[in-house]
Amino acid sequence: VKTSLCFLLAARRCEMADLQQLTETSALVRQTAALIHHLQRERGLSHLFIGSKGLRFAAEREQQIAWTDHSEAQLRACFDALGTNPPMRHGTRLFSRIAHTLHGLDTLPQMRQSVQGLALTALELFHGYTRLINCLMSVVFEAADMATDPALSRLLVALFHLMQGKELAGQERAVGSALWSAGSVAREGQQQLAHLIESQDKCLGLFEHFATPELLQLWRQCQSPQVEAERERLRRLLLQTLAGGDLDSQKSSAWFDCCSQRMDEWRLVEEQMAKMLVEHSAARWASVAEEVQAIEALKARLATAQDADLPGNAAPLFAPDPGGVATLGPALEKSVLDMLQEQSVRLQSMAAELDLVRASLNDRKRIERAKGLLMAHQQLSEEGAHKALRDLAMRQNQRMVDVADAVLSMAALFKPKA
Amino acid sequence: VKTSLCFLLAARRCEMADLQQLTETSALVRQTAALIHHLQRERGLSHLFIGSKGLRFAAEREQQIAWTDHSEAQLRACFDALGTNPPMRHGTRLFSRIAHTLHGLDTLPQMRQSVQGLALTALELFHGYTRLINCLMSVVFEAADMATDPALSRLLVALFHLMQGKELAGQERAVGSALWSAGSVAREGQQQLAHLIESQDKCLGLFEHFATPELLQLWRQCQSPQVEAERERLRRLLLQTLAGGDLDSQKSSAWFDCCSQRMDEWRLVEEQMAKMLVEHSAARWASVAEEVQAIEALKARLATAQDADLPGNAAPLFAPDPGGVATLGPALEKSVLDMLQEQSVRLQSMAAELDLVRASLNDRKRIERAKGLLMAHQQLSEEGAHKALRDLAMRQNQRMVDVADAVLSMAALFKPKA
């Protein structure tokens, strides 16, 4: 029959299993972040390649494709290694996201061929790569949402927001480039830009909120003030030129470069965080494993004490200190009670902190759910649902999440599915 | 290399594993509900036994203790059978609750001895049994909070609220009995009674909110209007008699009987729900297992189609329809995409529904967390923290959850633990 102590032990073993799983998903997140960065670069170079009608950036693009392929192979290896035995618990959404991602990656060679043949518009190219990157971001999101250790969850959530901010910076680079190339300012492009900058700042704010002081220091060290000043100057030109006004298309490459440098700087912090994540989850696992050993030792001592107490068991002749064993009983019993109490307090405060950290993921969850509702009841694709929400947000000058909430609040009006 | 379809399959296998786990915890919940009911009866009879100074109810109590013991043995067997191999994921809190419960059950024989020797006051007896029942309720709570299937989660949450309502009815029976036995009305007892009735109604409201129409019908059928009318009449006498006024202590046994009959009626619905829970989770598991088989069949067909396409593989001489295999490709590819889309929509709407159902557990979570905070920083026991919150709520005439929120909002003021 299992005792109270057995289940205290089982609880800690569950924690170990969860941390083991987190170590695996951390490696996955790290590799995902690397691939996203390569896809962002490939998107940028493909854009320049198409913009120059295939006359420039061909070699750089080819080189980048080789790097992307290498990174993709590493991520696929990570996916393959992902624990399906024993099956990952609560992994349904993560695995579903991975299925989507793999499906997206399978279409990449075809897209590249179209770029090579100049058979894609800049907008199609942008949407193609962005959709794929969004799939990969969802993998990171689910990993962040699954973590059950508050400190690691905090790190994952900070990393997710930094990655999301960087991707929005990549989208800003593309939208800005389109404006510079056009040589004149379009109102819609300006609105889109303002929207991207606002969302970006929000993500970076959340990153800073959840990052440790050491990470914030690294964050400040990695960013060059010159690059930032140049980006802000060009942003201002893009945003403050009156609609229809002329833009100096010569500045296009300066814009592209300083946006790219910015993303490369952030990438350093991102990689550092991903590395920490892998290391810290392994370290947390080891520390819980040590505690489990200590409890096991206590359990063994209790068993000895109880065996000695059993009426049928005569005390062994040469027992070193039978009196000691007998008096050990209540003291050990007391420490089991203390451990139960301590565990209970710890679990409650962990749960409270987890809630707090995860709440920052809620905006995205609500947007995803509103998209799901639109997909199910308006027969829209994921792409179409996203566009519908984004267009509505732009038209009403609201945030995506506000529009999503409005959709969710009308959920009762949608006919339930058969 | 694993394909998109492999992970679609892995996602469904995760769902199967989660449902398998839910089937195990459902059996646990059913047995827990049974033991709680026996403990409630034992608490009631022990109360009558002590109240009669040991002159009456000795045989009934002894019989009930035998039943409780039998039910306890069954629950312990359930605990023992609980899947620790493969380790239950996200089970840390559940296992920790079980550890607490077992520790509580170990103290039961001692408490019974004290009752037998009339060495406990009615209040001590009440708190002893109630603490143990609360431990068991926490096990059900964690099981409800862990479920990832919305329909089953809804059933579990409905069941949890019914059980909680029944326990509050049991506490109302005890507090009311104390008032009748005293023969006069104390203001504090009246307040406590009003508080218990209010919380009880709230729980039953949530039960009714989450119960299916069939359950609601059973719920109405099980309750006798005569018993309810009698209970309401006696409640009114208890609550409307002016403080200090006399009560007819002869009514004590009518009060006890109609409260007990009520709880027995509710128990019928409770057991029916627990049974449904076990059956439905097994059925859900079987239905997902069937879907997994269908995906596996599709995967096998895709593999055949791809093998036939490989340049190195000459088509076998007597292949029944090689053309058919070749044209199967795009159609199968299309159905993988459809499945990805369908899965994604389904997961989003499941998540949205789960959120909605689980939100009803939030009040209790906040109360638990506030207790955790008090325990950690005011060096209080769980019992002490609960009392502190309850007393504060009574004094300020607020709900427990409001007081808990106030405590949580002041969390920043508490010094962080070293």
Please give the structure tokens belonging to residue B378. Answer: 């005011």
Percent of chain A with pLDDT over 90: 54
Q: Is B13 on the interface with A (CB under 8 A)?
A: yes
ipTM, 2 decimals? 0.84
The answer on pLDDT for A14 being more than 60 is: yes
CB A358 within 8 A of CB A147: no
What confidence score (pLDDT) does residue B25 get?
93
Is residue A271 over pLDDT 80? yes
* A contact residues 179-198, partner B, Cβ 8 Å cutoff: none
> Which residue in A89, A99, A349 is closest to B7 by CB distance?
A99
What is the tens place of the pLDDT at every residue in A272-300?
Answer: 999 999 999 999 999 999 999 998 988 88
A182 vs A130, more confident: A130
Q: Looking at beta carbons, which residues of chain A come within 8 Å of B408?
A: 352
Residue of chain A whose alpha carbon sits nearest to that of B138: A344
A86 prior amide bond cis, ω within 30: yes
Question: Which helix (DSSP H) or strand (DSSP E) does residue B179 occupy?
Answer: helix B150-182
- Chain B partners within 8 Å of A347 (Cβ): 92-93, 96, 372
By mean pLDDT, which of A100-114, A196-210, A404-418, B318-332 is the weakest?
B318-332
Tell if the CB–CB gap between A341 and B98 is shorter than 8 Å: no
Residue of B nearest to A378 (CA): B345
- Of the candidates B21, B102, B368, which has its C-beta nearest A4's C-beta? B102
CB contact under 8 A, B345 and A372: yes
Decide if A369 and B382 are in contact by the 8 Å CB cutoff: no
* Whole-structure pTM value: 0.87
**How close B214 gets to chain A, by Cα (Å)?**
20
Partners of B87 in the beta sheet? B84
**pLDDT above 50 (res A305):** yes
Nearest 5°: CA angle at B282, between B7 and B132?
A: 110
Which of A11, A13, A96 faces B347 most closely, judged by CB atoms?
Answer: A96
Contact A90 B95 (CB under 8 A): no
What is the length of chain A? Answer: 418
Cβ–Cβ under 8 Å, residues A349 and B370: no
For A312-368, how does the pLDDT look when each residue is reduced to its tens digit (9 = 90+)? 443 333 334 433 333 445 666 677 888 888 888 888 888 888 888 888 888 888 888
For residue A3, the distance in angstroms to the closest alpha carbon of chain B comes to 7
Conformational region of residue B379, where left means phi above 0, alpha means psi within -120 to 50, and beta covers everything else: left
Q: Minimal Cα distance from A103: which residue of B?
A: B4
Choosing among A6, A13, A14, A299, which should be mutated to test the B contact, i.e. which has the most B CBs within 10 A?
A14
B336 close to A (CB below 8 A) = yes
Candidates B1, B2, B334, B338: best to mutate against A (most CBs of A within 10 A) is: B2
User: Which of A11, A21, A96 faces B96 most closely, judged by CB atoms?
Assistant: A11
Question: Residue B148 has what DSSP assignment?
Answer: -
A378 in reach of chain B (CB within 8 A) = no
B90 — contact with chain A (CB < 8 Å)? yes
The C-alpha atoms of residue A34 and residue A36 are separated, in whole angstroms, by 5
Read off the pLDDT band of A87 (50, 70, 90).
low
CB contact under 8 A, A90 and B340: no
Size of interface A-B (CB pairs under 8 A): 205
Instruction: Choose among B4, B12, B98: nearest Cβ to A102.
Output: B4
Measured between CB atoms, which of B14, B106, B381 is closest to A87? B14
d(CA A54, CA A48): 8
* Contact state of A11 with B337 under an 8 Å Cβ cutoff: no
Task: Check CB contact under 8 Å for A79 and B7.
Answer: yes
pLDDT digits (tens, 9 = 90+) for B205-245: 999 999 999 999 999 999 999 999 999 999 999 999 888 88
Are B112 and B65 in contact, with CB atoms under 8 Å apart? Answer: yes
Number of C-beta neighbours around residue B264 at 10 A: 15
Block residue for tokens 């325990």: B375
* B341 φψ region: left (φ > 0), alpha (ψ -120 to 50), beta (else): alpha
Tell me whether residues A17 and B87 touch, CB distance under 8 A. yes
Q: Does A43 touch chain B (CB under 8 A)?
A: no
Q: Of A400 and B257, which is predicted with more confidence?
A: B257
CA distance B197 to A353: 33
DSSP H or E segment with residue B295: helix B252-309
Say if the Cβ atoms of B343 and A99 lie within 8 Å.
yes
Instruction: Kindly determine whether residue A99 and residue B369, on different chains, have CB atoms separated by under 8 Å.
Output: no
Q: Containing H/E element for B69?
A: helix B58-81
Q: Higher-confidence residue: A187 or A170?
A: A170
At A87, list the tokens. Answer: 């099956």
Three-state SS string across chain A, please? Answer: CCCHHHHHHHHHHHHHHHHHHHHHHHHHHHHHHHHHHHHHHHHHHHHHHHHCCCCCCHHHHHHHHHHHHHHHHHHHHHHHHCCECCECCCCHHHHHHHHHHHHHHHCHHHHHHHHHCCCCCHHHHHHHHHHHHHHHHHHHHHHHHHCCCHHHHHHHHHHHHHHHHHHHHHHHHHHHHHHHHHCECCHHHHHHHHHHHHHHHHHHHHHHHHCCHHHHHHHHHHCCHHHHHHHHHHHHHHHHCCCCCECCHHHHHHHHHHHHHHHHHHHHHHHHHHHHHHHHHHHHHHHHHHHHHHHHHHHHHHHHHHHHHCCCCCCCCCCCCHHHHHHHHHHHHHHHHHHHHHHHHHHHHHHHHHHHHHHCCHHHHHHHHHHHHHHHHCCCCHHHHHHHHHHHHHHHCCCHHHHHHHHHHCHHHCCCCC
Q: What per-residue confidence (pLDDT) applies to B323?
A: 39
**Nearest residue in B to A92, CA atom:** B11
Cα(A130)–Cα(A210) distance, rounded to whole angstroms? Answer: 26
Predicted local distance difference test score (pLDDT) of residue B371: 85
Pairwise pLDDT comparison (B66 vs A393), residue with the higher score: B66
pLDDT of residue A89: 67
Band (pLDDT 50/70/90 cuts) for residue A375 is: confident
In this prediction, residue A109 carries a pLDDT of 97
Instruction: Note whether B86 contacts A87, CB cutoff 8 Å.
Output: yes
Rounded average pLDDT per 10-residue block, chain B, 418 residues: 86 90 94 98 95 94 98 95 68 91 95 96 93 95 90 96 97 92 87 90 95 95 94 93 85 93 96 96 95 89 69 39 45 77 84 85 85 81 82 83 83 54
Tens-place pLDDT, residues B315-327? 333 334 433 333 4
Chain B residues with CB-CB distance to A376 below 8 A = 345, 349
Instruction: Select the residue of A89, A348, A369 nearest B18 (Cβ to Cβ).
Output: A89
Q: What is the mean pLDDT of chain A?
A: 87
What pLDDT score does A318 carry? 35
Task: Give residue A369's pLDDT band: very low, low, confident or very high (50, 70, 90).
Answer: confident
Whether A412 and chain B come into contact, CB under 8 Å, resolves to no
Distance CA B170, CA B136 (A): 15
By CA distance, what is B385's nearest residue in A? A345
Asked if the model's pLDDT at residue A104 lies above 90, the reply is yes
- How much is the pLDDT for B246? 87
A153 close to B (CB below 8 A): no
In this complex, do B99 and A7 lie within 8 Å of one another by their Cβ atoms? yes
**Rounded alpha-carbon distances, angstroms, from residue A279 to A159, A276, A284, A358, B395:** 14, 5, 9, 21, 50
Q: What is the pLDDT of residue A317?
A: 34
